[in-house]
Structure 1
Amino acid sequence: MLLFGGTIVKVSLTGVYLRYVKEGLRPFLVVAGLILVAAAVMTLWHEWRKPSASKQHDHGHDDGHGHAHEPWVGWLMMLPALALLLMAPPALGSYAAGQAGTISASEISDAPPLPPGDVVPLSLLEYASRSLYDGGKSLAGRKVRLVGFITPGADGKPMLARIIMSCCAADGRPIKVGLAGDVPSAAPDTWVEVVGRYTATTSKDPVNDADIPYLEVASWTQTATPEKPYQ
Protein backbone atom coordinates (compact mmCIF):
# COMPACT_ATOMS: atom_id res chain seq x y z
CA MET A 1 0.00 0.00 0.00
CA LEU A 2 2.90 2.33 0.80
CA LEU A 3 4.56 1.63 -2.55
CA PHE A 4 1.31 1.96 -4.47
CA GLY A 5 0.36 5.25 -2.80
CA GLY A 6 3.87 6.62 -3.29
CA THR A 7 3.76 5.68 -6.97
CA ILE A 8 0.47 7.54 -7.47
CA VAL A 9 1.92 10.65 -5.83
CA LYS A 10 5.09 10.43 -7.93
CA VAL A 11 3.37 10.09 -11.31
CA SER A 12 0.98 12.89 -10.35
CA LEU A 13 3.81 15.29 -9.51
CA THR A 14 6.02 14.39 -12.49
CA GLY A 15 3.33 14.72 -15.16
CA VAL A 16 3.26 11.04 -16.17
CA TYR A 17 -0.38 10.96 -15.07
CA LEU A 18 -1.29 12.96 -18.20
CA ARG A 19 -0.92 9.72 -20.16
CA TYR A 20 -3.89 8.26 -18.32
CA VAL A 21 -6.25 10.98 -17.06
CA LYS A 22 -7.16 14.61 -17.72
CA GLU A 23 -5.11 17.39 -16.19
CA GLY A 24 -7.93 18.50 -13.89
CA LEU A 25 -7.85 15.18 -12.00
CA ARG A 26 -4.35 15.76 -10.67
CA PRO A 27 -5.43 17.06 -7.22
CA PHE A 28 -7.64 14.01 -6.69
CA LEU A 29 -4.78 11.66 -7.57
CA VAL A 30 -2.41 13.41 -5.17
CA VAL A 31 -4.96 13.24 -2.34
CA ALA A 32 -5.70 9.57 -3.05
CA GLY A 33 -1.99 8.73 -3.07
CA LEU A 34 -1.39 10.59 0.20
CA ILE A 35 -4.31 8.77 1.83
CA LEU A 36 -2.83 5.41 0.82
CA VAL A 37 0.59 6.42 2.14
CA ALA A 38 -0.92 7.61 5.42
CA ALA A 39 -2.94 4.41 5.80
CA ALA A 40 0.17 2.31 5.14
CA VAL A 41 2.26 4.24 7.66
CA MET A 42 -0.46 3.95 10.32
CA THR A 43 -0.74 0.21 9.66
CA LEU A 44 3.03 -0.28 10.04
CA TRP A 45 3.08 1.79 13.21
CA HIS A 46 0.21 -0.25 14.62
CA GLU A 47 1.95 -3.54 13.79
CA TRP A 48 5.28 -2.49 15.27
CA ARG A 49 3.58 -1.50 18.52
CA LYS A 50 2.15 -4.99 19.07
CA PRO A 51 3.98 -7.32 21.47
CA SER A 52 5.76 -10.19 19.74
CA ALA A 53 3.43 -12.82 21.16
CA SER A 54 0.40 -10.87 20.02
CA LYS A 55 1.84 -10.58 16.53
CA GLN A 56 2.38 -14.31 16.31
CA HIS A 57 -1.16 -14.97 17.47
CA ASP A 58 -2.67 -12.49 15.01
CA HIS A 59 -0.62 -13.32 11.93
CA GLY A 60 -1.13 -16.52 9.98
CA HIS A 61 -0.37 -19.94 11.46
CA ASP A 62 2.63 -21.10 13.47
CA ASP A 63 4.56 -23.89 11.74
CA GLY A 64 5.49 -25.54 15.05
CA HIS A 65 8.97 -24.00 15.11
CA GLY A 66 7.90 -20.59 16.31
CA HIS A 67 7.57 -19.08 12.84
CA ALA A 68 4.34 -17.47 11.65
CA HIS A 69 3.56 -17.75 7.95
CA GLU A 70 2.26 -14.63 6.21
CA PRO A 71 0.04 -15.03 3.11
CA TRP A 72 2.45 -14.40 0.21
CA VAL A 73 -0.32 -13.46 -2.22
CA GLY A 74 -0.49 -10.00 -0.62
CA TRP A 75 2.86 -9.16 -2.19
CA LEU A 76 1.23 -9.29 -5.63
CA MET A 77 -0.16 -5.85 -4.84
CA MET A 78 3.35 -4.54 -5.54
CA LEU A 79 3.28 -5.59 -9.19
CA PRO A 80 1.10 -2.78 -10.61
CA ALA A 81 3.09 -0.18 -8.67
CA LEU A 82 6.42 -1.57 -9.86
CA ALA A 83 5.13 -1.76 -13.43
CA LEU A 84 4.11 1.90 -13.30
CA LEU A 85 7.46 2.92 -11.81
CA LEU A 86 9.74 0.84 -14.04
CA MET A 87 7.90 0.67 -17.37
CA ALA A 88 5.06 3.19 -17.43
CA PRO A 89 2.80 2.46 -20.44
CA PRO A 90 2.87 5.20 -23.09
CA ALA A 91 -0.12 7.30 -24.08
CA LEU A 92 -2.60 5.82 -26.56
CA GLY A 93 -1.33 5.96 -30.12
CA SER A 94 -1.79 4.61 -33.62
CA TYR A 95 -3.05 1.18 -32.56
CA ALA A 96 -5.88 2.70 -30.52
CA ALA A 97 -6.64 5.13 -33.35
CA GLY A 98 -6.91 2.26 -35.82
CA GLN A 99 -9.35 0.34 -33.63
CA ALA A 100 -11.80 3.22 -33.09
CA GLY A 101 -13.70 5.44 -35.48
CA THR A 102 -12.87 9.11 -35.75
CA ILE A 103 -14.83 11.53 -33.58
CA SER A 104 -17.53 13.39 -35.47
CA ALA A 105 -16.49 17.04 -35.58
CA SER A 106 -18.76 19.67 -34.04
CA GLU A 107 -21.25 21.07 -36.52
CA ILE A 108 -20.75 24.77 -37.25
CA SER A 109 -22.25 26.86 -40.03
CA ASP A 110 -20.52 30.19 -39.52
CA ALA A 111 -17.06 29.79 -38.00
CA PRO A 112 -15.32 32.94 -36.76
CA PRO A 113 -12.35 34.19 -38.81
CA LEU A 114 -8.95 32.77 -38.04
CA PRO A 115 -6.58 35.01 -36.10
CA PRO A 116 -3.98 36.94 -38.11
CA GLY A 117 -0.62 35.37 -38.89
CA ASP A 118 1.20 33.55 -41.67
CA VAL A 119 0.53 30.13 -40.13
CA VAL A 120 -2.34 29.59 -37.69
CA PRO A 121 -2.06 26.73 -35.13
CA LEU A 122 -5.26 24.70 -34.87
CA SER A 123 -6.27 21.56 -33.03
CA LEU A 124 -7.26 18.62 -35.22
CA LEU A 125 -10.81 18.86 -33.92
CA GLU A 126 -11.13 22.55 -34.82
CA TYR A 127 -9.68 21.95 -38.26
CA ALA A 128 -12.12 19.08 -38.83
CA SER A 129 -15.08 21.21 -37.73
CA ARG A 130 -14.13 24.12 -40.00
CA SER A 131 -13.32 21.82 -42.89
CA LEU A 132 -16.43 19.63 -42.80
CA TYR A 133 -19.18 21.96 -41.63
CA ASP A 134 -17.97 25.40 -42.68
CA GLY A 135 -17.19 24.26 -46.19
CA GLY A 136 -13.64 25.44 -45.63
CA LYS A 137 -14.75 29.08 -45.97
CA SER A 138 -12.89 30.22 -42.85
CA LEU A 139 -9.81 28.27 -44.00
CA ALA A 140 -9.64 29.56 -47.57
CA GLY A 141 -6.29 31.05 -48.49
CA ARG A 142 -4.78 30.39 -45.05
CA LYS A 143 -2.01 28.13 -43.85
CA VAL A 144 -2.62 26.13 -40.69
CA ARG A 145 -0.38 24.12 -38.39
CA LEU A 146 -1.55 20.78 -36.96
CA VAL A 147 0.29 18.55 -34.49
CA GLY A 148 -0.46 14.87 -34.06
CA PHE A 149 0.91 11.36 -34.46
CA ILE A 150 1.04 9.30 -37.63
CA THR A 151 -1.43 6.46 -37.96
CA PRO A 152 -2.06 4.26 -41.03
CA GLY A 153 -5.34 4.82 -42.84
CA ALA A 154 -7.53 2.07 -44.24
CA ASP A 155 -5.55 2.28 -47.50
CA GLY A 156 -2.24 2.10 -45.66
CA LYS A 157 -1.40 5.76 -46.29
CA PRO A 158 -0.41 7.89 -43.30
CA MET A 159 -2.96 10.06 -41.55
CA LEU A 160 -2.66 12.52 -38.70
CA ALA A 161 -4.45 11.68 -35.44
CA ARG A 162 -4.84 12.79 -31.86
CA ILE A 163 -6.68 11.12 -28.99
CA ILE A 164 -9.45 13.09 -27.30
CA MET A 165 -10.63 11.97 -23.88
CA SER A 166 -13.43 13.07 -21.61
CA CYS A 167 -12.07 11.72 -18.33
CA CYS A 168 -9.38 9.08 -18.72
CA ALA A 169 -7.56 7.06 -21.35
CA ALA A 170 -10.24 4.36 -21.17
CA ASP A 171 -12.75 6.67 -22.92
CA GLY A 172 -10.21 8.12 -25.40
CA ARG A 173 -11.36 8.43 -29.01
CA PRO A 174 -9.29 9.56 -32.03
CA ILE A 175 -9.79 12.52 -34.28
CA LYS A 176 -8.26 11.82 -37.69
CA VAL A 177 -7.18 14.08 -40.53
CA GLY A 178 -6.15 12.71 -43.91
CA LEU A 179 -2.97 13.97 -45.55
CA ALA A 180 -2.35 14.89 -49.20
CA GLY A 181 0.54 16.59 -50.96
CA ASP A 182 3.89 16.35 -49.14
CA VAL A 183 2.78 13.40 -47.00
CA PRO A 184 5.10 12.67 -44.04
CA SER A 185 7.31 9.63 -44.53
CA ALA A 186 7.34 8.72 -40.87
CA ALA A 187 6.59 5.54 -38.96
CA PRO A 188 3.31 5.08 -37.03
CA ASP A 189 3.24 6.80 -33.63
CA THR A 190 5.77 9.39 -34.77
CA TRP A 191 4.68 12.87 -33.69
CA VAL A 192 4.82 15.43 -36.48
CA GLU A 193 3.96 19.06 -37.05
CA VAL A 194 2.42 19.67 -40.45
CA VAL A 195 1.76 22.95 -42.21
CA GLY A 196 -0.71 23.06 -45.05
CA ARG A 197 -3.89 24.37 -46.58
CA TYR A 198 -7.51 23.30 -46.68
CA THR A 199 -8.60 20.85 -49.35
CA ALA A 200 -12.15 19.74 -50.05
CA THR A 201 -11.05 16.08 -50.20
CA THR A 202 -12.74 13.81 -47.66
CA SER A 203 -13.03 10.10 -46.99
CA LYS A 204 -15.04 7.78 -44.78
CA ASP A 205 -13.66 6.08 -41.69
CA PRO A 206 -14.27 2.35 -42.23
CA VAL A 207 -14.76 1.82 -38.48
CA ASN A 208 -17.78 4.11 -37.99
CA ASP A 209 -18.39 5.62 -41.46
CA ALA A 210 -17.71 9.15 -40.16
CA ASP A 211 -16.27 11.81 -42.47
CA ILE A 212 -12.53 12.43 -42.37
CA PRO A 213 -11.28 15.82 -43.65
CA TYR A 214 -7.97 16.21 -45.47
CA LEU A 215 -5.12 18.69 -45.37
CA GLU A 216 -2.92 19.57 -48.34
CA VAL A 217 0.50 19.35 -46.69
CA ALA A 218 3.06 21.98 -47.69
CA SER A 219 5.75 20.98 -45.17
CA TRP A 220 6.21 18.79 -42.14
CA THR A 221 8.74 18.21 -39.37
CA GLN A 222 9.10 15.51 -36.77
CA THR A 223 8.51 16.74 -33.22
CA ALA A 224 8.77 15.43 -29.69
CA THR A 225 5.79 13.89 -27.94
CA PRO A 226 3.95 16.79 -26.28
CA GLU A 227 3.70 16.95 -22.51
CA LYS A 228 -0.07 16.73 -22.92
CA PRO A 229 -0.56 14.04 -25.59
CA TYR A 230 -4.38 14.11 -25.39
CA GLN A 231 -6.75 16.87 -26.40
Structure 2
Amino acid sequence: MLLLLGAALGYAGLTDLYLRYVKAGLQPLLLVAGGVLIVAAVATIWFERRRPRAAGEGAEQEHREHEHHEHEHREPRIAWLLVLPLLALIFVAPPPPGSYAAMRDGTALQQPWDLSALPADDPVPLGLVDYAGRAAYDHGRSLGDRRITTSGFISLDESGAPYLVRMVLNCCAADARPVKVGLTGRIPPILQPDTWYEITGVHTDRQAADPINNGVIPYIDVMEARPVPAPDDQYDSAS
Protein backbone atom coordinates (compact mmCIF):
# COMPACT_ATOMS: atom_id res chain seq x y z
CA MET A 1 0.00 0.00 0.00
CA LEU A 2 2.86 2.37 0.79
CA LEU A 3 4.42 1.65 -2.58
CA LEU A 4 1.16 2.20 -4.45
CA LEU A 5 0.39 5.40 -2.56
CA GLY A 6 3.89 6.76 -3.16
CA ALA A 7 3.69 5.91 -6.86
CA ALA A 8 0.27 7.59 -7.12
CA LEU A 9 1.59 10.77 -5.48
CA GLY A 10 4.62 10.72 -7.76
CA TYR A 11 2.46 10.29 -10.84
CA ALA A 12 0.16 13.13 -9.79
CA GLY A 13 3.13 15.40 -9.01
CA LEU A 14 4.87 14.75 -12.32
CA THR A 15 1.74 15.46 -14.37
CA ASP A 16 -0.93 18.15 -14.27
CA LEU A 17 -3.12 15.87 -12.16
CA TYR A 18 -1.94 17.41 -8.90
CA LEU A 19 -3.43 20.76 -9.93
CA ARG A 20 -6.87 19.24 -9.33
CA TYR A 21 -6.05 18.88 -5.64
CA VAL A 22 -3.46 21.46 -4.48
CA LYS A 23 -2.02 24.75 -5.69
CA ALA A 24 0.98 24.74 -8.00
CA GLY A 25 3.46 25.84 -5.33
CA LEU A 26 2.97 22.57 -3.40
CA GLN A 27 4.25 20.35 -6.23
CA PRO A 28 7.77 19.91 -4.72
CA LEU A 29 6.31 18.86 -1.35
CA LEU A 30 4.00 16.40 -3.08
CA LEU A 31 6.93 14.81 -4.93
CA VAL A 32 8.98 14.62 -1.73
CA ALA A 33 6.07 12.95 0.10
CA GLY A 34 5.71 10.40 -2.70
CA GLY A 35 9.44 9.70 -2.63
CA VAL A 36 9.44 9.18 1.15
CA LEU A 37 6.57 6.68 0.90
CA ILE A 38 8.30 4.74 -1.87
CA VAL A 39 11.55 4.60 0.13
CA ALA A 40 9.64 3.43 3.21
CA ALA A 41 7.90 0.72 1.17
CA VAL A 42 11.16 -0.53 -0.40
CA ALA A 43 12.89 -0.54 2.99
CA THR A 44 10.03 -2.55 4.52
CA ILE A 45 10.20 -5.15 1.73
CA TRP A 46 14.00 -5.35 2.05
CA PHE A 47 13.94 -5.92 5.82
CA GLU A 48 11.18 -8.53 5.49
CA ARG A 49 13.22 -10.52 2.96
CA ARG A 50 16.39 -10.35 5.09
CA ARG A 51 14.90 -12.09 8.08
CA PRO A 52 17.26 -14.96 8.94
CA ARG A 53 15.90 -18.43 8.35
CA ALA A 54 16.10 -20.96 11.19
CA ALA A 55 18.29 -24.01 10.66
CA GLY A 56 17.95 -27.60 11.97
CA GLU A 57 14.91 -29.62 12.80
CA GLY A 58 14.07 -27.90 16.01
CA ALA A 59 14.56 -24.49 14.47
CA GLU A 60 12.66 -25.55 11.33
CA GLN A 61 9.76 -26.83 13.42
CA GLU A 62 9.69 -23.60 15.39
CA HIS A 63 9.75 -21.69 12.10
CA ARG A 64 6.80 -23.68 10.75
CA GLU A 65 4.84 -23.05 13.93
CA HIS A 66 5.66 -19.37 13.68
CA GLU A 67 4.50 -19.27 10.03
CA HIS A 68 1.31 -21.07 11.01
CA HIS A 69 0.72 -18.53 13.76
CA GLU A 70 1.30 -15.67 11.29
CA HIS A 71 -1.03 -17.31 8.76
CA GLU A 72 -3.80 -17.46 11.35
CA HIS A 73 -3.47 -13.71 11.98
CA ARG A 74 -2.93 -12.57 8.40
CA GLU A 75 -4.84 -9.46 7.33
CA PRO A 76 -8.12 -10.17 5.47
CA ARG A 77 -7.94 -9.99 1.70
CA ILE A 78 -10.73 -7.44 1.69
CA ALA A 79 -8.14 -4.96 2.95
CA TRP A 80 -6.90 -4.71 -0.64
CA LEU A 81 -10.04 -2.69 -1.37
CA LEU A 82 -8.01 0.18 0.08
CA VAL A 83 -6.33 0.25 -3.32
CA LEU A 84 -9.52 1.59 -4.91
CA PRO A 85 -9.12 5.17 -3.61
CA LEU A 86 -5.63 5.19 -5.11
CA LEU A 87 -6.98 4.14 -8.49
CA ALA A 88 -9.66 6.83 -8.19
CA LEU A 89 -6.91 9.38 -7.49
CA ILE A 90 -5.38 8.59 -10.88
CA PHE A 91 -8.30 7.67 -13.11
CA VAL A 92 -11.30 9.55 -11.63
CA ALA A 93 -9.84 12.94 -10.70
CA PRO A 94 -12.60 15.37 -9.71
CA PRO A 95 -13.05 18.47 -11.89
CA PRO A 96 -12.34 21.89 -10.33
CA PRO A 97 -15.42 23.59 -8.84
CA GLY A 98 -17.23 25.72 -11.40
CA SER A 99 -20.08 28.20 -11.69
CA TYR A 100 -22.48 26.23 -9.46
CA ALA A 101 -20.08 26.42 -6.52
CA ALA A 102 -19.00 29.97 -7.35
CA MET A 103 -22.48 31.45 -7.17
CA ARG A 104 -23.23 29.75 -3.86
CA ASP A 105 -20.22 31.16 -2.04
CA GLY A 106 -19.25 34.73 -1.23
CA THR A 107 -16.32 36.39 -2.97
CA ALA A 108 -12.91 35.74 -1.41
CA LEU A 109 -11.40 38.99 -2.69
CA GLN A 110 -8.90 40.52 -0.27
CA GLN A 111 -6.95 43.76 -0.28
CA PRO A 112 -3.81 43.23 -2.39
CA TRP A 113 -0.30 43.76 -1.03
CA ASP A 114 1.36 44.46 -4.36
CA LEU A 115 0.18 47.43 -6.41
CA SER A 116 3.31 47.82 -8.51
CA ALA A 117 3.19 49.67 -11.82
CA LEU A 118 1.76 47.79 -14.77
CA PRO A 119 4.04 46.72 -17.64
CA ALA A 120 4.04 48.67 -20.89
CA ASP A 121 2.12 46.02 -22.84
CA ASP A 122 -1.08 47.00 -24.60
CA PRO A 123 -3.33 45.38 -23.62
CA VAL A 124 -1.83 44.49 -20.24
CA PRO A 125 -2.16 40.77 -19.33
CA LEU A 126 -3.41 40.64 -15.74
CA GLY A 127 -4.73 37.86 -13.54
CA LEU A 128 -8.38 38.17 -12.62
CA VAL A 129 -7.63 38.33 -8.88
CA ASP A 130 -4.99 41.02 -9.49
CA TYR A 131 -7.42 43.08 -11.57
CA ALA A 132 -10.21 42.66 -9.02
CA GLY A 133 -7.98 43.74 -6.11
CA ARG A 134 -6.76 46.85 -7.91
CA ALA A 135 -10.27 47.77 -9.05
CA ALA A 136 -11.94 47.23 -5.67
CA TYR A 137 -9.37 48.45 -3.15
CA ASP A 138 -7.19 50.84 -5.18
CA HIS A 139 -10.28 52.22 -6.95
CA GLY A 140 -8.55 51.65 -10.28
CA ARG A 141 -5.78 54.22 -9.70
CA SER A 142 -3.06 51.73 -10.68
CA LEU A 143 -5.12 50.65 -13.70
CA GLY A 144 -5.91 54.08 -15.14
CA ASP A 145 -7.41 53.85 -18.60
CA ARG A 146 -5.13 50.99 -19.65
CA ARG A 147 -6.64 48.12 -21.62
CA ILE A 148 -6.57 44.91 -19.58
CA THR A 149 -6.68 41.29 -20.73
CA THR A 150 -7.77 38.69 -18.21
CA SER A 151 -9.51 35.31 -18.20
CA GLY A 152 -11.84 33.15 -16.15
CA PHE A 153 -15.00 31.09 -16.40
CA ILE A 154 -18.51 32.46 -16.78
CA SER A 155 -21.04 32.35 -13.95
CA LEU A 156 -24.59 33.68 -14.04
CA ASP A 157 -26.58 34.83 -11.03
CA GLU A 158 -30.30 34.28 -10.55
CA SER A 159 -31.16 37.25 -12.74
CA GLY A 160 -28.85 36.04 -15.52
CA ALA A 161 -26.20 38.73 -14.93
CA PRO A 162 -22.75 37.43 -16.02
CA TYR A 163 -19.58 37.31 -13.95
CA LEU A 164 -16.04 36.30 -14.80
CA VAL A 165 -14.73 34.06 -12.02
CA ARG A 166 -11.54 32.41 -10.82
CA MET A 167 -11.40 30.06 -7.84
CA VAL A 168 -8.61 30.86 -5.40
CA LEU A 169 -6.77 28.47 -3.09
CA ASN A 170 -5.06 28.89 0.24
CA CYS A 171 -3.80 25.32 0.16
CA CYS A 172 -5.93 22.72 -1.58
CA ALA A 173 -9.10 22.33 -3.61
CA ALA A 174 -11.16 21.77 -0.45
CA ASP A 175 -10.78 25.45 0.48
CA ALA A 176 -11.39 26.85 -3.03
CA ARG A 177 -13.44 30.07 -3.04
CA PRO A 178 -14.46 32.38 -5.89
CA VAL A 179 -13.30 35.85 -6.86
CA LYS A 180 -15.94 37.46 -9.08
CA VAL A 181 -15.72 40.31 -11.57
CA GLY A 182 -18.93 41.68 -13.07
CA LEU A 183 -19.16 42.27 -16.81
CA THR A 184 -20.52 45.35 -18.50
CA GLY A 185 -20.07 46.87 -21.95
CA ARG A 186 -19.85 44.69 -25.07
CA ILE A 187 -20.98 41.44 -23.51
CA PRO A 188 -21.64 38.52 -25.90
CA PRO A 189 -25.42 37.97 -26.22
CA ILE A 190 -25.19 34.30 -25.22
CA LEU A 191 -22.91 33.15 -22.40
CA GLN A 192 -22.86 29.58 -21.13
CA PRO A 193 -21.89 28.95 -17.49
CA ASP A 194 -18.46 27.30 -17.01
CA THR A 195 -17.25 28.47 -20.44
CA TRP A 196 -13.80 30.04 -20.24
CA TYR A 197 -13.42 33.50 -21.76
CA GLU A 198 -10.56 35.88 -22.36
CA ILE A 199 -11.79 39.41 -21.75
CA THR A 200 -10.17 42.60 -22.99
CA GLY A 201 -11.55 45.76 -21.40
CA VAL A 202 -10.93 48.78 -19.21
CA HIS A 203 -11.58 49.61 -15.60
CA THR A 204 -14.94 51.00 -14.58
CA ASP A 205 -15.91 52.51 -11.23
CA ARG A 206 -18.99 50.31 -11.06
CA GLN A 207 -19.08 47.93 -8.08
CA ALA A 208 -21.62 45.66 -6.41
CA ALA A 209 -21.97 43.88 -3.08
CA ASP A 210 -21.93 40.10 -3.09
CA PRO A 211 -25.36 39.05 -1.73
CA ILE A 212 -23.81 36.12 0.13
CA ASN A 213 -21.11 37.82 2.22
CA ASN A 214 -21.45 41.50 1.22
CA GLY A 215 -17.95 41.42 -0.31
CA VAL A 216 -16.93 43.82 -3.05
CA ILE A 217 -17.48 42.72 -6.66
CA PRO A 218 -15.73 45.09 -9.10
CA TYR A 219 -16.66 45.33 -12.77
CA ILE A 220 -14.77 45.49 -16.05
CA ASP A 221 -16.01 47.35 -19.13
CA VAL A 222 -15.73 44.71 -21.85
CA MET A 223 -14.32 45.74 -25.23
CA GLU A 224 -13.75 42.24 -26.60
CA ALA A 225 -14.62 38.75 -25.36
CA ARG A 226 -13.61 35.45 -26.90
CA PRO A 227 -13.98 31.86 -25.66
CA VAL A 228 -10.73 30.05 -24.84
CA PRO A 229 -9.87 26.52 -23.67
CA ALA A 230 -9.74 25.99 -19.92
CA PRO A 231 -6.14 26.27 -18.67
CA ASP A 232 -4.31 23.36 -17.08
CA ASP A 233 -4.20 25.24 -13.78
CA GLN A 234 -7.68 26.64 -13.26
CA TYR A 235 -6.99 27.96 -9.76
CA ASP A 236 -5.41 31.14 -8.53
CA SER A 237 -3.67 31.74 -5.21
CA ALA A 238 -5.26 33.84 -2.50
CA SER A 239 -3.54 37.17 -1.84
Report the TM-score range of the alignment, normalised by the length of the smaller protein.
0.7 to 0.9
Provide the secondary structure at the position in 1 that maps to 2:102. helix
Residues 19-168 of structure 1 mapped to structure 2, 5 A cutoff: 19-45=20-46, 53=64, 54-60=66-72, 70-106=75-111, 111-168=115-172
Q: CA–CA distance in 1 between the matches of 2:76 and 2:200?
A: 59
Compare CA radii of gyration and give the structure with the larger one. Answer: 2
Range that drifts further, 44-53 or 161-170: 44-53
- Report the Cα distance in structure 2 between the residues aligned to 1:209 and 1:196, rounded to whole angstroms: 25
* Unpaired stretches in structure 2, ≥5 consecutive residues: 54-62
**Residues 53-91 of structure 1: CA deviation (Å, up to 9, x unaligned):** 444421345xxxxxxx74133112111111011111122
SS of aligned partner of 2:201: strand
Q: Provide the rounded CA distance (Å) in 1 between the counterparts of 2:91 and 2:115.
A: 46
Could you tell which deviates more after superposition, 11-20 or 37-46? 37-46
Tell me the equivalent position of 2:19. Answer: 18
Aligned to 2:193: 188
Q: How many residues align?
A: 223
Q: Which runs of 5+ in 1 are unaligned?
A: 62-68
The alignment's C-alpha RMSD in Å is 2.6
Residues 96-150 of structure 1, C-alpha deviation per residue, up to 9 Å, x if partnerless?
Answer: 3223211233168x95543223201111222122212333233332210111111
SS for the counterpart of 1:207 is coil
The 1:4/1:83 distance shift into structure 2, 3 A limit, reads same
Q: Which amino acid aligns with 1:13?
A: L
Sequence identity, in percent?
A: 46
Which of 172, 177, 180 is the aligned partner of 2:176? 172
Correspondences of 1:198-217 after superposition (within 5 Å):
198-217=203-222
C-alpha separation in 1, matches of 2:67 and 2:47: 11
Change (3 A) 1:107 1:11: closer
Looking at structure 2, the residues matched to 207 and 19 of structure 1 have their Cα atoms a distance apart, in angstroms, of 26
Contact kept in structure 2, 1:47 and 1:55, CA below 8 Å = no
Aligned-residue offset at 1:223? 1.6
Aligned partner of 2:205: which letter?
A: A
Which stretch shifts more, 199-208 or 221-230? 221-230
1:99 aligned counterpart, secondary structure: coil
TM-score (norm 2): 0.81
Whole-angstrom CA distance in 1 between matches of 2:50 and 2:191: 60
- How does the TM-score come out when normalised to structure 1? 0.84
Q: Is the 8 A contact 1:105 1:128 kept in 2?
A: no
Contact 1:22–1:167 under 8 Å retained in 2: yes
Q: Which residue of 2 aligns with 1:66?
A: none
Between 1:5-14 and 1:70-79, the stretch displaced more is: 70-79
